[in-house]
A and B are shown apart, each in its own frame.
Chain A
Amino acid sequence: MAGRFVVIWFPHLTTDRFISRQPELKDMSFVLAAPERGRMVIRAASIPAEASGITSGMVVADAKALLPSLVVIDDRSELAGKLLAYLAEWCLRYTPVVAVALPDSLILDIRGCAHLWGGEQVYLKDILSKLNNMGYDARAAIADTIGAAWAVCRYGKVSPFVDAGAQLEALLPLPPAALRLEPATLQRMQKLGLYRISSFIQMPRNVLRRRFGPLLLERLDQALGQLKEPIEPIRPVEPYQERLPSQEPIRTATGIKIALQRLLETLCKRLVMEGKGLRKAVFKGYRIDGKLQQIEIGTNAASCNVDHLFRLFELKVTTIAPALGIELFILEAPVVEDLSKVQQTMWQSGREQADKKIAELLDRMTARGGMDIIHRYLPAEHYWPERSVKVAVSLDEKPATAWRTELPRPVHLLPVPELIEVAAPIPDYPPMLFIYKGTVHKITRADGPERIEQEWWIENSLHRDYYQVEDDKGARYWLFRLGHYDEGDPQWFIHGFFA
């Protein structure tokens, strides 16, 4: 299948950035320079400077000799990369597949995108005029291959649109430099008088390979579409993604909700057809000013119910700040599961409808309170009270072992046992009274002790002797003594309250 690519070239990427930051630089000759092997070398020159014959790669001292009024600004090496990354992010509104080609280009895979703007002419014009408004000098070309688009973008003189399959005709009049070759190869071609691609493209391939190395053939094949050229998109494309560009920037909550509703409908339709449901969805809004606004929801069970998902998003729509307006909405479903899982009953209750309703209720709760508010507990095979329950990982996980019921456990368990003072008559007897938070409790009845040993393979500490005691008012407590009675002064703790 033939591709369709846009290559955008920024001839003055970094200098344009400085001009948009400091408008007074606009008509000045200035260069960006960085030290290289002990001298200042020009990395980028502004348009007036270029007019005076200053190009990148020159030494600053030489340039100053040419033009004494030249302004020199320190270059930051990472600036171009950052700018391109930002612009690539911005270009996501035109296509989901955007790649950065350092040092000064962007590659857009536009298959199936241009018609949304009403054709390639309008599409390209829209991109370039918006980039120009942002202050960037940009050139672009559309072709079936990246190589051809790259070549036409930089060296093309006729039209930026290369018709499908017409790469060869477009390339013929261009210089060899349009093929992204190494400087040494270009120099050799120059020496041999090969000024145009047309002058060597007819030569036998083995001759070209011997004279100019394998890269030339590779670049030629890539430009002509005989060899596929991989690109690395800045965002990996989500398999479940829906896009909705808007004609006018959207600023109102109603508008955002309409966009959300439409995207959900198309996405859910697709999910239903594939028998899948989403567990996580991200709704993104690309603002005019290049900022990204996004909200995220998660569900506890795979769902493709538009109304339910809409309600989950609705709780968060207010957090989207549209500012001057949002011009592109994207809905992504990064986590998708087979829907048949829902058909299995959650708690063997045999009520699928009820389970679904509960799952939806829990989704609304997590959307409001966060993912970590829901807990379910299953028995764990530990006697140590703090470890005797474990958190269930999912809503339909069933206990692997039975709950232990033969020994009493308090309804309220303190998260950490609290120290108490006791008066215990003789070893291994429950205390007569204990003081907890300044109140004296006289113990009238007691059960125990129940000795629980620490699991030495997990943690090293003394064993606990638990007593269930009842004070004179009828309140019941769970107390324990840490360690043996005869080891000096044993400590007593309160660990819970019985019903």
Chain B
Amino acid sequence: MKSEVIERLRKDILAMEGFKLTDESKRLKLDLGPMTAAFPGETFPCGAVHEFLSATKEDAAATTGFIAGLLSGLMRDGGICLWISTRRTLFPPALRLFGIDPEKVIFIDLSKTSDILWMVEEALKCEALAAVFGDISEIDFAQSRRFQLAVEHSRVTGLIHRYQPRNMGTNTFVARWKISSLPGTLQDGLPGVGDPSWRVELIKIRNGRPGTWVMQWANGGFRHSRRRAAATAHKPLQKVG
């Protein structure tokens, strides 16, 4: 009885804070395990912009893997995704491992960084897309607000990968993630490298609870590992320049 009241009040507060639950059709169709509890309303915030930080090439690859996992959930019913970047090293066949048809991803490869903000914003305004990935290192508050306004209207999910960002000012993104790779888990004695395994840090989440989890990608879905999240020492984000 009491818990029901609290639950209802919580939802009211979320609504007052301007948080809008996405309708059923646009939700992430992917089981994120215990991570779901961290999100507002216990649903992964679609129709918002997420940022992912990475400092090294290895972390960038891990982040790409995690993003590809999320994208597979967003593109499940035949949606198209735009992948906007300047120096793309993504190898399209690898997306197949994460359950994405590589031909459903349209790559926008730019030579100048100046156009990328315009391109991402324009893409976020297009409601026909399932998701937009952008490789943007530097972004200021004003531009992040433009992104936010765009997705509020179109309900497109934006995933921004920030590789070696120089300044980490405030922005309007709904969540800030940091993914790093972890040694794979295999039963003792078995050779090989096993499934991809990541330490997923949710540094910031609006209306939610930040946390750290260990996630694996196996059999076309995320698998939560009960292994201690702090398996590797936490390294603060490397400042460059």
Which residues in B have their C-beta under 8 angstroms from that of A388?
A: 93
Interface hits, A322-368 → B, CB 8 Å: 347-351, 353-355, 357-358, 361-362, 364-365, 368
Interface hits, A453-469 → B, CB 8 Å: 468-469
Which residues in A have their C-beta under 8 angstroms from that of B181?
A: 473-476, 499
Which residues in A have their C-beta under 8 angstroms from that of B95?
A: 411
Question: Closest Cβ of chain A: how far from B32's Cβ, in Å?
Answer: 17
Please tell me if the beta carbons of A375 and B91 are within 8 angstroms of each other in the complex: no
Q: Is B184 an interface position by the 8 A CB rule?
A: yes
A353 to B108 Cα, complex, angstroms: 22
A408 to B93 Cα, complex, angstroms: 9
Selected interface stretch from A4-12, A214-222, A396-404: A396-404
Please tell me if the beta carbons of A376 and B107 are within 8 angstroms of each other in the complex: yes
Please tell me if the beta carbons of A353 and B128 are within 8 angstroms of each other in the complex: yes
A357 to B78 Cα, complex, angstroms: 15
A379 to B103 Cα, complex, angstroms: 9
Selected interface stretch from B116-124, B144-152, B200-208: B116-124
Interface hits, B194-213 → A, CB 8 Å: 194, 196-198
Q: Is A70 an interface position by the 8 A CB rule?
A: no
Question: Closest Cβ of chain B: how far from A358's Cβ, in Å?
Answer: 5
Which residue, of A369, A388, A389, has the highest number of chain B Cβ atoms within 10 A? A369
Instruction: Among B56, B102, B182, point to the contact of A377 (Cβ < 8 A).
Output: B102
Please tell me if the beta carbons of A497 and B57 are within 8 angstroms of each other in the complex: yes
What is the size category of the interface that chain B forms with chain A? 35 or more
- Contact status of A499 and B61, CB under 8 A, knowing A373-B109, A411-B68, A411-B91: yes
Interface hits, A365-418 → B, CB 8 Å: 365, 368-369, 373-379, 385, 388-389, 392, 395, 398-399, 403-405, 408-415
How many pairs of residues, A versus B, come closer than 8 Å at their CB atoms? 172
A245 to B123 Cα, complex, angstroms: 37
Question: Closest Cβ of chain A: how far from B163's Cβ, in Å?
Answer: 11
Question: Closest Cβ of chain A: how far from B133's Cβ, in Å?
Answer: 12
B164-185 vs A, CB cutoff 8 Å, 1 = contact: the mask equals: 0000000000000000111110
Which residues in A have their C-beta under 8 angstroms from that of B55?
A: none
Please tell me if the beta carbons of B64 and A411 are within 8 angstroms of each other in the complex: yes
- Contact status of A474 and B182, CB under 8 A, knowing A377-B103, A388-B93, A499-B68: yes
Please name 20 further chain A to chain B contacts, defined as beta carbons within 8 Å, in addition to the given A411-B90, A411-B95, A498-B196, sorted by A numbering.
A351-B78, A368-B119, A373-B108, A375-B108, A375-B109, A376-B106, A388-B93, A395-B106, A403-B96, A403-B102, A409-B93, A411-B61, A412-B61, A412-B64, A413-B94, A444-B183, A445-B194, A447-B193, A473-B183, A499-B62
